[in-house]
Amino acid sequence: MGNTFQKLYRVVDAEWCSNSNYSNYDASVAIIYIEQLDSIIFIERTEKPNDRWSGHIAFPGGFRKGHESSLETAIREVNEELNIDLNRSMHLGAIKPLRTRLRNIVIVPHIFLLKSKPETLKANSMEVSRVFIVDVGSISMGQCPSYIPYPPCFLFPEISKGKVVWGLTARILSLILDSN
């Protein structure tokens, strides 16, 4: 756990760590690290017509509702998508908010620590088609397909052929893996 935990902790922005109720944002995602497995949880979004992120590999998360804080949004979305109650986890903090390149959506990534794989983990098929618990050591930078306009792209053994982690998820993953 030591090395991955240190990398996760290094990307936590001290300003946002003390302000996890950040309110000037559109959506939140959860980077869920499972200590016992040295793994991170990813999802494959369910294919839906007219959904820009349909079928993408991503961190669990979604858009805010009402006056939620970014932390509340991340916790609610993970509960809805994966049936995991992150109120029972350790919240390490937030990474400084990032903007998507094409839609200019402000997203706050929150990092959570779980000791072991959650027993309640169950994908909500309306939102998630597959769940990946990925060994951090198996994640590698890969070649981006021609239809992806911006690198980086990442691969891991569990991903279906032809799929890659890209976009904002890849940018967040790059921040984590490149932190020293």
> What pLDDT, on a 0 to 100 scale, did the predictor assign at position 111?
93
Instruction: Say if CB 128 and CB 81 are below 8 A apart.
Output: yes
pLDDT at 1: 47
Give the pLDDT of residue 147.
84
CA angle at residue 175 from 173 to 177, to 5 degrees? 65
Which residues is 105 bridged to in the sheet?
Answer: none
pTM: 0.90
Q: Using CA atoms in the order 16, 41, 177, 105, what is the torsion angle rounded to 10 degrees?
A: -50
* Token pair listed for 63: 């858009």
- pLDDT by residue, tens only, the chain of 180 residues: 468 777 776 777 666 555 555 667 899 999 999 999 999 999 999 988 887 777 889 999 999 999 898 999 999 999 999 999 999 899 988 888 898 877 889 999 999 999 999 999 999 999 999 999 999 999 988 888 888 888 898 988 887 677 889 889 999 999 888 865
Alpha-carbon torsion 8, 28, 86, 116, what sign? negative
Cβ atoms within 10 A of the Cβ of 171, count? 19
Domains and CATH numbers, the chain: 2-138 (3.90.79.10)
Q: Strand pairing partners for 154?
A: 141, 165
